[in-house]
Amino acid sequence: MLDAAQHPFDRLPDCPGVGYKPQHFTAIMENAGPVEWLEIHAENYMGDGGRPIAQLRALAERFAFSVHGVGLSIGGEGPLDQDHLKRLAHLVGWLNPARFSEHLAWSTHDSHFFNDLLPLPYTEETLNRVARHIDQVQEAVGRQMLLENPSNYLAFAETTMAETDFLAGIARRTGCGLLLDVNNVFVSATNQQTDPYSYIDAFPLHLVGEIHLGGHDEDADDTGQPLLIDSHGAEVVDPVWALYDYTISKAGARPTLIEWDTDVPEWPVLAEEARRAARILEKAAA
Amino acid sequence: MGVDQTAFTAAMLDPGMKVPAGLTDPEGRNAGKRFNVYRNNVVLSLTEALITAFPSVCRRVGEGHFRALAGQFLRRHPPKSPLIMFYGDEMPDFLAGIDSLSSVGYLPDLARIDLARRQSYHAADARATDPGALQALTTEALMEARIGIAPATRVVSSPWPILSLWRQVMEGAEEAGTVPEARAEDVLIARPEHDPVLIGLPPGGAVFVTGLQAGQSFAGALDAATGAAAGFDLAATLGALLSGGAITKIIGKDEG
């Protein structure tokens, strides 16, 4: 646990954090072990009160927070949902988290919300649209946001630029930072039969304000090629740890989140994943 | 060739549709099974959300059957908001329209209770008033007062013994084979602290509570409740409200 006197909560420490799950509340309050900050999905804390908000208030007195949106649909063809933007600004306003992030994806179309992160092609047109939306988001929440690289399962024939160039271009246009999900890099590279290390080499690492690590499932496509699926329902696999080690050796220590959202394990399992990240971060600091 | 989001979502929600041309694998062939990842994610994540949201309906019909119903529901009523914790407002009416469920006529009312509990869970906090504050008023002052009801308070009225049935489904509260007495039941859903509680209301109780929620005076709500149920049990209704922490303030005739 962080001591507020030593670490102000207005920035994430270059240490492990975890995605907060209510079933871990007591364990975290008693002894968070290697975990020094927490992340929440913004949409789960947009109710008016009750236990979720009470737990969040209690935790926010002891931990730095990162708010991670999953419902803004920044890559959507339609306009951003202004009501949702207001709810987000309200949450970020009272919680005052150290970081706010969202996805390079869309989830709402024609006023329906699909509860999944859907892909978009990388073109001048989509770059303009995403940049315009990020300008609106940063204006509404009054701070810089981080944009996260997606897990890709397929490609768009119309795509004209590399994802790393697309992300760098958006950051240049909007002043946003980037959230590098190393598991997503591995999943996408495997699915697209490209080299994940080349992706890291091409990524603008100086813009990375946070890193995500999580587990994935393994499947195969119609031709028997591996098809990895980002599930956040298992331990981080060794090849992703190796890619993370490489990333940290290049970028230096960065706040690193363990994401585990489905089949959530007991706290000690999650703490052990955080400990593994801590060892890699400490090596970089030494 | 471009794949717009209208084409993408149409194919995503209908497994019988072809994967749109322009979505490919690394060799440039049609994405095929790769597209199914999105089809599966959407259905699975919304189905899980509905299982969490409607525990009593899910238990009553069995999880396998509920998953099939959820698959129909989510295509007919996709969420309109990213606040998935409130997804499923249309569920009671949806269930009422399923012919094969007509033998379980109270299923929509179980869904209404599940919805009300969830709304209550996430509602704004409010401090309950001291029960003595009601007793301290003269009868005349009480009749003219308006009563502040906590935001986490909900009422479900049913022609079925819905509270008994809900408990039977959720808590296994009945002896095997026992059928609740056939009668209408009204249920108060209130939240003393963080966990919603369900309390049975006497006949007319729902009218009384919803009257207070709508801002009627105590006397006005009492008239309406007595009109709805002769012999309306005021003491039992007030007892239910107080034990649920649902009364937050007493507003005298000349206040607010």
- In-domain check, residue B49: yes
Measured in angstroms, the CA of A235 and the nearest CA of chain B are apart by 20
- In-domain check, residue B209: yes
The DSSP-derived string for B12-58 is HH-TTSPPPTTEE-TTSSB-THHHHHHHHHHHHHHHHHHHHH-HHHH
Last residue of a domain, one of B104, B135, B168: B104
- Which residues from chain B sit within 8 angstroms of residue A51, using beta carbons? 121, 194-195
For B74, nearest residue in chain A (alpha carbons): A114
For A82, nearest residue in chain B (alpha carbons): B81
- A102 contacts chain B (CB < 8 A): no
- Please check whether residue A175 is in contact with residue A144, taking contact to mean a CB–CB distance below 8 angstroms: yes
The reply to whether B145 and B248 lie within a common domain is yes
The reply to whether B164 and B254 lie within a common domain is yes
Give the pLDDT of residue A10: 81
For residues A227-242, one letter each, b for 16 or more C-beta atoms within 10 angstroms of the residue's C-beta and e for the rest, the string is: bbbbbbbebbbeebbe
* Domain assignment of residue B145, given as a range: 126-256
- Please check whether residue B219 is in contact with residue B143, taking contact to mean a CB–CB distance below 8 angstroms: yes
- In-domain check, residue B119: no
- Which residues from chain A sit within 8 angstroms of residue B50, using beta carbons? none
Q: How far is CA A285 from the centre of its chain?
A: 23
Residue A38: pLDDT above 90? yes
Residue A4's pLDDT band, with cuts at 50, 70 and 90, is very low
Give the pLDDT of residue B175: 54
- B167 contacts chain A (CB < 8 A): no
Give the pLDDT of residue B171: 85
Measured in angstroms, the CA of B214 and the nearest CA of chain A are apart by 20
Measured in angstroms, the CA of B87 and the nearest CA of chain A are apart by 10
Give the pLDDT of residue A1: 41
Residue A3: pLDDT above 50? no
Q: Which domains does chain A have, with CATH numbers?
A: 16-285 (3.20.20.150)
Which of B34, B81, B121 minimises the CB distance to A154? B34
Per the DSSP assignment, residues forming a β-bridge with B24 are: A155, B30
| pLDDT digits 0-9 by tens, A213-227 | 999 999 999 999 999
A114:B49 CB<8 A:
no
Average pLDDT, chain A: 95
**C-alpha distances out from residue A23 to A52, A61, A184, B46, B93, Å:** 11, 19, 26, 21, 33
Give chain B's domain count.
2
The C-alpha angle B10, A44, A130, rounded to 5 degrees, equals: 50
The reply to whether B89 and B141 lie within a common domain is no
**pLDDT means over runs of 10, chain B (256 residues):** 91 95 96 96 97 98 97 96 97 97 95 98 96 90 96 97 95 66 92 97 97 97 97 96 96 79
* Window A:58-77, CB contacts with B under 8 Å: 70-73, 76-77
- Please check whether residue A210 is in contact with residue A157, taking contact to mean a CB–CB distance below 8 angstroms: no
Question: Which pair of tokens denotes residue A85?
Answer: 């933007």
For A123, nearest residue in chain B (alpha carbons): B2
Q: In this predicted structure, which of A94-108, A169-183, B162-176 has the lowest mean pLDDT?
A: B162-176
Cα dihedral A40, A42, A44, A47 sign: positive
Residue A5: pLDDT above 60? no
- In-domain check, residue B112: no
Measured in angstroms, the CA of A125 and the nearest CA of chain B are apart by 12
- B64 contacts chain A (CB < 8 A): no
